[in-house]
Structure 1
Amino acid sequence: MIRSKGTSLSCPGGRLTGQQLAQRLGWQGSKVSRLENGKQTATPEDLRAWADATEQPEVYAELAARLAGFESQIRSWRRALANGYKVMHEGLSAEIERASEMWVWEESVIPGLLQTPEYAHHVIRRYAELLGGANDIDAAVRSRVQRQEWLYRPGRKLHVLMWEAALRSLICPPTVLAAQLDRLTGVIGMDTVELGVVPFAAPVKIVPANGFWVLDDRVVVAEDWHAEMWLDDADNIALHSKVWHTLHESAVYGTEAQNVITVARRALNLR
């Protein structure tokens, strides 16, 4: 987050090395290095201490503004999960409530707005095992299921695309996945949902990767292993919309989509 061009930092009283600055602040030298090289995101308190230690308190306002802009775009999972999964889910739910139309692409998981509670539980638990914060999984599941009320309100439209891999990934027991696939079959034909599947055998013009949501052509929410990215600039919104529509050309809908889902369900070999 805080970067410098050299190994020393200017202040009115002379130049400080990173180690000297760390001593002034009572930090480990490695923390200064991580902040300078963008390997750690500063907190507002870090920025205030940095500005005061370099005897430049006037730069704090600019640094804080940069931090606010950075965090509005890249929201670290670990920092977000400090308050639990339920709080994190409620933040996205509030943004979804504002939307009247959404375009969703998922390459390996069923989108949250179409998940059964059991499937959602397993997905959230897997992330909790990786990132921590497993104390409120049930509350997070309830929040995610509550969000699905959006689908039943007049004037709403969900355009969702999935790669066939999302139908087959055993992130949960086969019986749970079977029920989830039955749920998908049930939403085909809903007037608020347009469900498309990109079959494995379909020719594609772009790599089917990197799930994302476009809300009202207003903001893109994309996920990576380390963070959730919120992008509201015109260029990124246009790029993700182009990706969605390119994948849309390879998708099947209606009866054809239902056939792909049915084949995936049969492959589970349930008795």
Structure 2
Amino acid sequence: MSIGNSPESPEDDRNFPADDRDSIGRALQQARVAAGLTVEEVSASTRVRVPIVHAIEEDDFSRCGGDVYARGHIRTLARAVGLDPASLIEQYDAEHGGRPAPTPAAPLFEAERIRPEPRRPNWTAAMVAAIVAVVGFVGFTMFNGTDGQNGTAAVAEGPAPATKTTTPKPVKPADPKPVPSESVIAAVPQDKVTVKLTATDDKSWISAKAHDGKLLFDGLLLAGESKTFQDDERIDLVLGNAGPIELYVNGKKVEDSFESGQVERLSYTKGDPEAG
């Protein structure tokens, strides 16, 4: 005689159809590997700490600090590895109960409606006004007394001299300061290596370092944006999506054709263009 259903009864599995989609963490991890990026590189470009990136790729969102932060991290990581954030956010909401209902704003504002306190009289201003009135009255009385002792008022002997009017000289406007631009340098310095990157029709993650390992830039270059870097000896580049990148080295265009999605690691010195 059997009481109840077995915990491993196959009938339970029929109530939960399998989802053919990859999990959020697996989708992010596969896209990162396909882009040739490490967890440390993604963390540096998105400012999401390495332990949180590892946890999200393992579908552990408990370290994000709540659903709001989890959605933000998913959106940021998806953009860094070239995925559509909207579909991943929709999948997260479906798996975690959707977005929380917004809190009505009216009760909050009505709680702030406090009856204003009656204005108190400004005794300081009243006292200052009274002192000014007394001083004015005393001055007026003394002036009238002086005129009475003289008997007659002074008579003007002639017209008052005309006051010479000085026309102010026009002030010459200051020359506008030149606005810095990241366009191709017309005359690049001979004692430095100059590299300019332009994303033509798509975004690309790039990293640029000086010869001493100093990080010059690490992040996304959106379509239409440009970045210019200079160093005394060498510039090392990593292009996460090299296809849309237009590259100039020391004022000359590099004619190498890169494919979309291709990861390139390049180095250039003062004597280039020459692919590193």
Q: TM-score, normalised by structure 2?
A: 0.23
Higher helix share: 1
Structure having the higher Rg: 2
